[in-house]
Amino acid sequence: MGHTWAKSENGLESYWMAQMTLLGLIRIGRNGPWGIFPSELSIFTTIDDLLVKTSINLDAISILGVNCSIFNPTPSLADMIMRRYKLRDDICNVQLSGMSCSVGLITVGLSKDLLRTAPSDAHALVVSMEIMNRTYYTGRKRGMQVFNMLFRMGGSAVLLSTSGTKARFQLAHVIRTCTGYQDNAYQCVFHEEDDKGNLGLNLSKNLVDATDKALRASIITVGPLILPLSVKIAIFLSSISEKGLNGTAKPYVPDFRTAFDHLCVHAGGRAVIDVVQRSLGLLDKHVEPSRMTLHRFGNTSSSSVWYELAYSEAKN
């Protein structure tokens, strides 16, 4: 366990739930108030901060998108937010779960699509978080112990709008590459029991390889949207060559450093950041927001990219 912790690169200030920091003296609460309390702490704190910063009228929010991959109570977290803030009764209220660390940006994409059909000056509130109480692993299987060492509590709240008057950023594209049809990708993060009946999240050794393959597939999709024509042609010729040689040809990797001012690589762990840096040929400064987020906050799952964006903003 200590070796796994050392390799995780998590700092000592990342956040566990209170009852998980007492060295097992208190039984891990998987239900009841220990499930709801940290949810409220994470959700309401981030939303309250957002409302103060934006000064938005709650009646202006017509879409609510909430995501938490692991913790999915009844009533839902989205309903908890509606009740707390007395949101309008005709709001489009959705919650996504069970989709791991990508679910935050999936919710952003869904909210963007919903805003396309909304009236002018419509707003969508997107809340991303991870609550760990139901997945803390008490067994001895190493692949499941990794979850305890890597993942931490965290949350973010983001406001999307059809009006750019007060916007800080413009959302240009949301690209999603689905590899769940592949066995290795489907099984790389799996909620299951070990041979002793201990429930936890198993992180497969295939996780890094699945990440690399998904990244390469995404490059083919996102490249034509942002890269110059000469690079687009090189990508196209490379894909033809790779298919013609039965995948033995080395794929062409464009220099994405010329297309982006900042990169927010999901802080999924040191190995995940390493493989993205290597695959895209990035310098250390390009993945600094990801490594600093991992060290300070740990892997906060779907909300990690917003921590990284905040880091980049503060530094630049």
Q: In whole angstroms, what is the distance from residue 240 CA to residue 244 CA? A: 6
Q: In whole angstroms, what is the distance from residue 180 CA to residue 67 CA? A: 19
Chain center to CA of 289? 14
- Give the DSSP H or E segment for 156: strand 154-161
Is the Cβ–Cβ distance between 24 and 169 less than 8 Å? no
pLDDT at 222: 83
Q: Domains of the chain: which residue ranges?
A: 2-161, 205-315
Cα angle: 248, vertex 252, 254; to 5 degrees: 160
In 3D, which of 6, 12, 5, 2 has the Cα closest to residue 295? 12
Provide the strand spans (E) within 13-104: 61-68, 92-96
Residue 67 main-chain phi, psi, to 5 deg: -145, 135
Residue 289 main-chain phi, psi, to 5 deg: -60, -35
> What 3-state class would DSSP assign to 155?
strand
CATH 3.40.47.10 describes domain 2-161: yes
How many residues does this entry show for the chain? 316
Q: In whole angstroms, what is the distance from residue 13 CA to residue 297 CA? A: 7
**Tens digit of each residue's pLDDT, the chain (316 residues):** 555 555 666 777 777 765 454 444 344 444 455 556 777 888 999 999 999 999 999 999 999 999 998 888 889 999 999 999 999 999 999 999 999 899 999 999 999 999 999 988 899 999 999 887 777 888 989 889 888 888 888 899 999 999 888 889 999 999 888 998 999 899 999 999 999 999 999 999 888 888 888 887 887 788 778 888 887 788 778 777 766 656 556 666 777 777 788 899 999 889 889 988 988 889 999 999 999 999 999 999 999 999 999 999 998 8
Cα angle: 310, vertex 314, 315; to 5 degrees: 120
| pLDDT tens-place string over residues 147-183 | 888 888 889 999 999 988 888 999 999 988 899 899 9
Q: In whole angstroms, what is the distance from residue 254 CA to residue 281 CA? A: 9
Indicate the pTM of the whole model: 0.86
**Mean pLDDT, rounded, of the chain:** 85
